[in-house]
């Protein structure tokens, strides 16, 4: 069931991305929101929808950890296409062995 929900979420994001051509001003900022119901170090935790504007090849999903009905997501540092992302995470909270990420822990720029 979780795999179906995850596949539907990924497909939905792909359809949104392909529905209309986007201009630079239309593209949502990467990782600017978080789950207000779960705070890690005083900041909202990242879920899949919070990383919708980020390069998908750098997003890792934890399908077995949910916040508000959505899988927790992790953004890797790296380069994807024209974007370069630098990330951090909580020093004392992990999700599936990786530092839990919160609002403000990711910064992607387009070159």
Q: Which strand (E) or helix (H) includes residue 10?
A: helix 2-19
| pLDDT given for residue 29 in this prediction | 62
Residue 20 has pLDDT above 80, yes or no: no
Cα gap 52→29, rounded to integer Å:
9
Q: Given strand 83-87, what is the order of strands in its sheet?
A: 78-80, 83-87, 106-110
| pTM, rounded to two decimals | 0.69
pLDDT tens-digit profile of 46-95? 999 999 889 999 999 999 999 999 999 999 999 999 889 999 999 999 99
């Amino acid at each position: 069931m979780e795999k179906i929900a995850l596949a539907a979420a990924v497909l939905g994001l792909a359809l949104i991305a392909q529905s209309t051509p986007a201009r630079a001003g239309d593209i949502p900022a990467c990782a600017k929101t978080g789950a207000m119901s779960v705070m890690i170090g005083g900041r909202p935790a990242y879920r899949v929808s919070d990383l919708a504007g980020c390069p998908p090849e750098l997003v890792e999903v934890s399908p077995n950890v949910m916040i508000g009905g959505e899988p927790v997501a992790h953004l890797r540092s790296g380069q994807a296409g024209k974007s370069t992302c630098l990330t951090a995470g909580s020093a004392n909270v992990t999700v599936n062995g990786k530092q839990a990420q919160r609002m403000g822990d990711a910064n992607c720029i387009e070159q």
